[in-house]
């Protein structure tokens, strides 16, 4: 079980919110800990803009689920960074098949994406007087992206603190959780209502498919993101039942 505590008075967090399972769980985590929570999504020319629409549906769902969450949810920001797709040849920004590269990384890897996201997040947070930034990076059950690793995030936090002279804290509550544990965390934070909301409206599929509804939500069921999400769901249900 996770520890619940009264949200610290007056503190605001900025959550990196893509509309996926992980960032939705992070949003609930932040809403339980901070007096006010703002969200930030990026439009970087990802080939399916579906996750951007999912974000709004999820935010509405969060407000409907709990009145205290509705009260704490602040501004929802979107930053457009077309430059990322200009410089990356990946399956997330180009219409090519997803496959493994010779470096052991799937070609969904956008080099440096999380470094860019977190740096922009810190710049926005700086202007808004926010020092706590929350992201769903995870190095358990992940695709091996080096910018998701804890060591990378800790090093970037140090860089941001030095580069801005502000005591930024990067929170990554999912870093050491399996995908099954992430489903459990969602249940601990928001009960069956939150798990249902995440199933129904969060989007993880790399192919942007929302045709078929599986137990774990919508997606192609085959891409690396769907595979991880489905495997985690099976383990979560097996242990919950």
> In terms of CB distance, is 196 or 222 closer to Zn ion?
222
For the record, the structure tokens of 6 come out as 């009264």
DSSP string, 11-70: -EEEEE--SSHHHHHHHHHHHTT-SEEEEEEEES--S-THHHHHHHHHHHHHHHH-HHHH
The 8-class DSSP code of residue 100 comes to B
| Cβ 92 to Zn ion shortest distance, Å | 12
Cα–Cα distance list, 100 to 11, 16, 22, 104, 224 (Å): 42, 27, 23, 6, 10
Instruction: Give the binding range for Zn ion (CB under 5 A) out of 34-42, 86-94, 188-196, 202-210.
Output: 202-210
Instruction: Give the binding range for Zn ion (CB under 5 A) out of 3-11, 20-28, 44-52, 201-209.
Output: 201-209
Whether residue 120 contacts residue 164, with contact meaning beta carbons closer than 8 Å, is answered with no
By the rule CB under 5 A, 223 interacts with Zn ion? yes
Among 19, 136, 217, 219, which residue interacts with Zn ion (rule: CB under 5 A)?
219
> In terms of CB distance, is 11 or 210 closer to Zn ion?
210
Crossing angle for the helix pair 179-201 and 50-65, to the nearest 10 degrees: 90
Give the Cβ contact number of residue 175 at 10 Å. Answer: 17
By the rule CB under 5 A, 54 interacts with Zn ion? no
The span from the CA of 69 to the CA of 73, in Å, is: 6
Among 28, 59, 189, 220, which residue interacts with Zn ion (rule: CB under 5 A)?
220
| Cβ 94 to Zn ion shortest distance, Å | 16
Q: Which residues contact 161 (CB under 8 A, 6 or more apart)?
A: 167, 168
| Cβ 23 to Zn ion shortest distance, Å | 17
| Cβ 7 to Zn ion shortest distance, Å | 35
> In terms of CB distance, is 34 or 206 closer to Zn ion?
206
Cα–Cα distance list, 202 to 51, 87, 145, 160 (Å): 8, 27, 21, 30
By the rule CB under 5 A, 30 interacts with Zn ion? no
Draw the binding track, 136-175, toward Zn ion (x: CB under 5 A; -: no contact).
Answer: ----------------------------------------
| Cβ 55 to Zn ion shortest distance, Å | 18
Among 226, 228, 229, 232, which residue interacts with Zn ion (rule: CB under 5 A)?
226
> In terms of CB distance, is 194 or 226 closer to Zn ion?
226
Q: Which residues bind Zn ion (CB under 5 A)?
A: 205, 207, 219-220, 223, 226
């Amino acid at each position: 079980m996770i520890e619940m505590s009264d949200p610290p008075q007056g503190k605001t967090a900025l959550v990196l919110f893509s509309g996926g399972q992980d960032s939705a769980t992070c949003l609930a985590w932040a809403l339980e800990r901070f007096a006010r929570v703002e969200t930030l999504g990026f439009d970087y020319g990802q080939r399916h803009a579906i996750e951007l629409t999912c974000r709004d549906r999820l935010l509405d769902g969060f407000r409907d689920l709990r009145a205290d969450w509705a009260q704490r949810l602040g501004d929802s920001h979107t930053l457009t960074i077309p430059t990322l797709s200009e410089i990356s040849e990946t399956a997330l920004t180009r219409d090519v098949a997803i496959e493994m590269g010779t470096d052991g990384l799937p070609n969904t890897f956008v080099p440096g994406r999380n470094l860019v996201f977190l740096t922009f997040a810190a710049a926005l947070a700086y202007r808004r007087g926010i020092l706590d930034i929350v992201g769903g990076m995870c190095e358990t059950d992940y695709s091996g992206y080096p910018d998701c690793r804890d060591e990378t995030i800790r090093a970037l936090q140090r860089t941001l603190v030095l580069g801005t002279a502000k005591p930024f804290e990067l929170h990554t509550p999912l870093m050491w959780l399996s995908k099954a544990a992430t489903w459990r965390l969602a249940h601990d934070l928001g009960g069956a209502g939150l798990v249902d909301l995440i199933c129904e409206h969060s989007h993880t599929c790399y192919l942007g498919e929302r045709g078929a509804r599986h137990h774990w939500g919508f997606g192609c069921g085959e891409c690396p993101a769907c595979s991880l999400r489905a495997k985690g769901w099976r383990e979560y249900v097996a242990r919950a039942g």
